[in-house]
Amino acid sequence: MDLGTVAGFVLAIAAVLIANVMEGGELRQLLNPSASLLVFGGTLGATLASAGLANVRLVPAAILYALRPPRLEPRQLIEKMVQLAQQARREGLLSLEEERKNLDDPFFAKGLQFVIDGADPEMVEEVMANAIEAEQRHHLVAAGVLETAGGYAPTMGIIGTVLGLIHVLGNLEDTSKLGPAIAVAFMATFYGIATANLLWLPLANKIKANVQAETEVRRMVVEGVLSIQRGDNPMIVREKLEAFLAADGGKGGAGAAEGASGAGGAGAGGTGTRGAGARVAGVGD
């Protein structure tokens, strides 16, 4: 579980609730079944109509991916690839078969298998780049769905408020109930804005950040596999791979993509190693 992400959600929601109490409100005042139905139901319906059922069904798994991103250990991968580069230079590529069987990373193992089988380097690079794109596409599609929901939610809240005000203005006989009725009407706007900015949009950005961080590690693995295949000096291999960590500020791991929230995805697709990141898959791609 990504404790930073969970803590962020808890902090944001708690800040809203505490501020409400400090202003003299009560927590029960924020509970409004009709406003909840309109905002959540309307947002789901509009998003479903816009993105399609197949894409909406990707969202639960993507939310889990946001909260529990894959554990990335680029420094350990670098050490392993340097070790394999040394072994390949001493004993040949075929000697890496046993090492391949013990790898925990299926993506790394698949790339190494291509090298052991004597595949053409360009083919290895292209296949692994395509695998990166396919691996991340569904998460980026889900992020797009959440961004769509984040766009519709505030509008649904405004629709709910307008409906509430219509009912208020249609029943002006008892002015003593006017204030509470208007307050209830604005609950829909609160729900729409709160869900968009506290849930849907942050989740979408976190998914894209995780995708970018994972893609960078995958690109590093591709570079390492190709270096092993070329028989590069292990010191050169280390320098090449550590350049990926330098590009991430030396952090590595899922937290290395903090700037991805506004980047729209994990980089441009392509067959080159440097362009091997997954394309931003728009809703309905």
Confirm whether 259 is domain-assigned: yes
Parts of the chain with a pLDDT under 70: 246-285
- What pLDDT sits at residue 168? 83
Confirm whether 280 is domain-assigned: no
Residue range 120-139, pLDDT digits in tens = 999 999 999 998 998 889 99
- What pLDDT sits at residue 241? 92
Do 3 and 101 fall into the same domain?
no
Do 40 and 17 fall into the same domain?
no
Do 15 and 120 fall into the same domain?
no
* Interaxial angle between packed helices 106-116 and 74-91, expressed in degrees from 0 to 180 and rounded to the nearest 10: 20
Judge contact between 276 and 222, C-beta under 8 A. Answer: yes
Do 84 and 154 fall into the same domain?
yes
- What pLDDT sits at residue 247? 57
Do 168 and 265 fall into the same domain?
yes
Q: Report the run of H or E that residue 211 belongs to, with start and end.
A: helix 201-230
- What pLDDT sits at residue 245? 84
Which residues, at least 6 apart from 81, have a Cβ–Cβ distance to it below 8 Å? 221, 224, 225, 227, 228, 237, 241
Confirm whether 158 is domain-assigned: yes
Confirm whether 63 is domain-assigned: yes
Confirm whether 283 is domain-assigned: no
Confirm whether 284 is domain-assigned: no
CA distances from 36 to 2, 173, 250 (A): 28, 27, 44
Give the structural domain span for 98: 32-275
- What pLDDT sits at residue 27? 80
Do 50 and 3 fall into the same domain?
no
CA distances from 143 to 59, 111, 157, 253 (A): 8, 28, 22, 20
Q: Tell me how many domains the chain contains.
A: 2
